[in-house]
Amino acid sequence: MLLLKVVTGIAAITFSGVFASVNDSQLPSQTVFVDPRSFAVMNPNADFRNDSFTMLFNPTSTTPPFFQVFDGRFLTILGDTPSFREIASNATFAFAHEAPIYNELTDEVFFSSNDGGPLGMSDLNENNVISKISMKEVEAALSVNATGPVNVPITQLNLSDTIQMTNGGTGPYNSSLLLVTSGRGSLPPSIVLVNPLPPYNATVLLDNYFGRQFVSLNDIKVHPTNGKLFFTDVDYGFLNLFRPAPLMPFQVYRFDPDTSAVRVVADGFNKPNGIAFTPDGSTVYVSDTGASGGFLGNNLTLPASIYVFDVDPVTHVFKNRRVLAYADAGVPDGIQLDSDGNIYSGCADGTQVWAPDGTLIGKFFLGMSTAEMIFAGDGRLVILAETKMYLAKIAAKSVPLGGPSGV
């Protein structure tokens, strides 16, 4: 285990019991260490935070973007020479919200705009959009501008009208983008396959539960060993005023692509949102964004949590629920894992990272909300921040998201 300590102004790192001192200036670029012991006791007259969405935890007042380190294990994720750069922006449009998918064959990242939120340009009468960005163009732009932000053009896809308010995505799955939609008005939420190449033709896999419309589907993942599709359903379409009032509970479902059978595998959430499996498929994480209330306003007493479950190998039901983490900034939204099992989730201040034991070890601190992120291959983490996109080049490695080999 890697432990990072502050000793009389000098950062010190212990590797498996071997102690070595490192000056602060020797820490990786754009990295700030915040010792949890430095704020464990703040004293009665301290300026305590009373809102997790608007009052973010940045005790060093460092200008974003930067890597905020709470535990030395985060340095293993970052590596020796990490970098953190803005790669695209549009101040008038929340073009980079959810559904990130990296397509290795074309070296492109696909993603959706905000479905009904501020600057989303979508509502009951207007669909949101799917776009893509070329990572080859990103790398070329960064090679020309070695330090500052770049603004690589994005390409909007002209998709089928059956795809309404895309909010989640994963894959590639069967060489296609696997999307879930929230629906719009009377148009139903659905699971859809989309060709990542022109003409971007689409195939709907599921749009109902035994004849009943889902509430508004949110996120989806493929189980890494059995190939079943698992997705969350919640009321954000209603809260963002483009879907009817809910007529079903907010739950997690399993869809069998071979038989088209669909069943509930977990319930009891306030707002189930992001979902991700460990590489062996035995464990699953589900975020609950209950504290984020849409037009009803935020309620800080509701969940802002990630729960961990065991996955029954036969029934695929999620069991033995326990808390992995409670986010300190807003709510944890989409979830991704790296090859070491660390858990990444978008929050009100950027992307937060927890070790498998539930310790918050660090943040990709942006000072703005991010819903999702995706590994664009090993060592490249693309972060969606509504009106901006960022690329963090780090040491962490990705995990396959398209299901078992051959699916």
Ranking 8-22, 79-93, 167-181, 217-231 by mean pLDDT, the lowest is 8-22
Q: Write the pLDDT tens digit of every residue in 131-175.
A: 999 999 999 999 999 888 999 999 999 999 999 999 999 999 999
- Looking at residues 213-233, what average pLDDT do you find? 98
Cα 159 to Cα 130, 256, 349: the distances in Å are 8, 25, 32
Secondary structure (DSSP) of 257-301:
TTT--EEEEE---SSEEEEEE-TTSSEEEEEE-TT--GGG---TT
* Closest to 362 in 3D by CA, of 29, 72, 64, 79: 72
pLDDT at 29 over 80: yes
Could you tell me the pLDDT band of residue 9, with boundaries at 50, 70 and 90?
Answer: very low
| Structure tokens that stand for 73 in this block | 């294990």
Q: What is the pTM of this model?
A: 0.94
pLDDT in tens, 361-397: 999 999 999 999 999 999 999 999 999 999 999 999 9
Nearest CA to 110 out of 199, 178, 189, 160 is that of: 178
pLDDT surpassing 80 at residue 8: no
Asked if pLDDT for residue 323 goes beyond 60, the answer is yes
Report all structural domains of the chain as residue ranges with CATH numbers, in order of start.
29-39+58-393 (2.120.10.30)
Residues whose CB is less than 8 angstroms from the CB of residue 336 and which lie 6 or more positions away in sequence, other chains included: 276, 343, 344, 345, 372, 373, 374, 375
Per-residue pLDDT tens over the stretch 228-274: 999 999 999 999 999 999 999 999 999 999 999 999 999 999 999 99
CA dihedral 25, 28, 29, 31 (to 10 degrees): -90
